[in-house]
Structure 1
Amino acid sequence: MSTGGLITTSTAALLPAAETPPLTTPREAAREAAERELAEPAYHQEEPGLLERALDRFWEWLGDVLDGASGVAPGGWAGLLAIAVVLVLLIAALWWRLGTPRRTATGPGTLFDEGPRSASDHRTAADAHAAAGRWNEAVQERMRAVVRSLEERTLLDPRPGRTADEAAAEAARSLPEHAAALRSAARAFDDVTYGGRTADPDAYARLRTLDLALERAKPLLTGPTV
């Protein structure tokens, strides 16, 4: 029996298998599969958050601005630092000169913001503020003393809600010689109370002088002739 034309089972197993066609995936399906895979949380654990990315962008922008400013400033970064120091000093000087804004002026406010007190009480409070260097409060209390004193002498009718300007205008009718000083005192009160201004010793001295002068002044009982 010839073995030349026979291929045993063991020999066939050693022969290469028939080639099979490769598997192919449609392009759209492959893209969707890739997107699903990349959307897995494991791929994004190390990525920065939205806030972190925004901060990175801001610091990059700020760095570009400072680099550009240092390029045009005399002396580069040293010149830019000197300009910044000068600006800080200017702002500090303005802040010291004008004082801290306390309240935006939206219109004239009332003169008395507390319960009724005598003129003597207001004078005592004004002198105490002046002794401590609190000139804004000293001016306020002295103006209140002026108006309360006029009310106690019946030169002004006691009226809640009266403004400093109204009090000055009404008092000027019976004290015309002091009309200008009364208007100036009312303006000083409004400036420090509602205008964010800072008073000084001279402003308080003028109000104190007016207060003492009004105590000795003789009013026109019939008012000025028109």
Structure 2
Amino acid sequence: MRITGALLTAARATGDDGPPLTVLRREGRDAARHELSKGMYHKNDPGLIQRALNRLWDWLGDLLGSAAGATPGGGVGLTVIVLALLALAAALWWRLGTPRRTPQAPPALFDDSPRTAAQHRASAEAHAAQGHWNQAVQERMRALVRALEERALLDPRPGRTADEAAAEAARPMPGHAPRLTAAARDFDDVTYGGRQAGRAAYERLAALDADLEQTRPDLAAASAPAWERPV
């Protein structure tokens, strides 16, 4: 063996013709360490990344083993808990949508090509007929706000958001304030929040649009100071 040869060489180096010398424990350990440090013994050693991965898997294995031992039901109980946490994370993702890296301002209600309320309604109905509910909700909300502008209940203002339009429309139409707020939320959900609308959301918005057309505005409440308006 190479280590034994190294030890004998070290022993012979201490004398020429004298009797064999006993190799001390410390000298033997140093000779063995020197011999084992040679590259020929480490050709098949795992690399730095592999060693780190091995330690990571060992740590995870110990962690899961400890968790399974501390969890009622052992490994089965731990599996149930992990599945419950995954289901909770999926539910939160579905409810809150995909997280965005950077916050964005709410989108403007109208684009750069102004159209009449009737044109927005026609576009909304066309999208609804094809089952394109997101676009149908967007166009119906635009029709609703444009109709209020055409009735001079809202001042035409570029860059107005759905939330702003709902708050301003609630002044002359206080009885519809909760429905206006819900309509603005539906618009933001599909335009800004990445949600998918359905037939029910569009039908609620279309009914609100029709009801506002038949509602007589409360101009006194709209012109009153904020602290005198009905809550």
> Deviation of residue 93 (structure 1)?
4.3
TM-score normalized by the length of structure 1: 0.63
Which residue identity is paired with 1:146? Answer: L
Cα distance in 2 for residues equivalent to 1:79 and 1:167? 52
Q: Which moved more, 1:51-60 or 1:63-72?
A: 63-72
Higher CA-based Rg: 1
Task: From the superposition, tell whether residues 129 and 60 of structure 1 become closer, same or farther in structure 2 (CA, over 3 Å).
Answer: farther
- The alignment's C-alpha RMSD in Å is 3.9
Give the conservation status (yes or no) of the 8 Å contact 1:99–1:198.
no
CA offset digits 1:124-159 (Å, max 9, x no partner): 444455566665554333212211222344433332
Task: From the superposition, tell whether residues 216 and 92 of structure 1 become closer, same or farther in structure 2 (CA, over 3 Å).
Answer: same
TM-score normalized by the length of structure 2: 0.62
Q: Which 4+ stretches in 1 moved above 6 angstroms?
A: none
The residue number in structure 1 matching 2:98 is 101
Of residues 186, 203, 206, the one that matches 2:204 is 206
Structure 2 residue runs of 5 or longer lacking an equivalent are 1-14, 19-29, 225-231
The residue number in structure 1 matching 2:46 is 48
Which residue identity is paired with 1:141? Answer: E
Task: From the superposition, tell whether residues 84 and 220 of structure 1 become closer, same or farther in structure 2 (CA, over 3 Å).
Answer: closer
The residue number in structure 2 matching 1:169 is 167
The residue number in structure 2 matching 1:148 is 146
Q: Which moved more, 1:137-146 or 1:99-108?
A: 99-108
- Flag the structure with more relative contact order, 1 or 2, with Cα contacts below 8 A and sequence separation at least 6: 1
Give the conservation status (yes or no) of the 8 Å contact 1:136–1:192.
yes
Q: Calculate percent identity across the aligned residue pairs.
A: 56
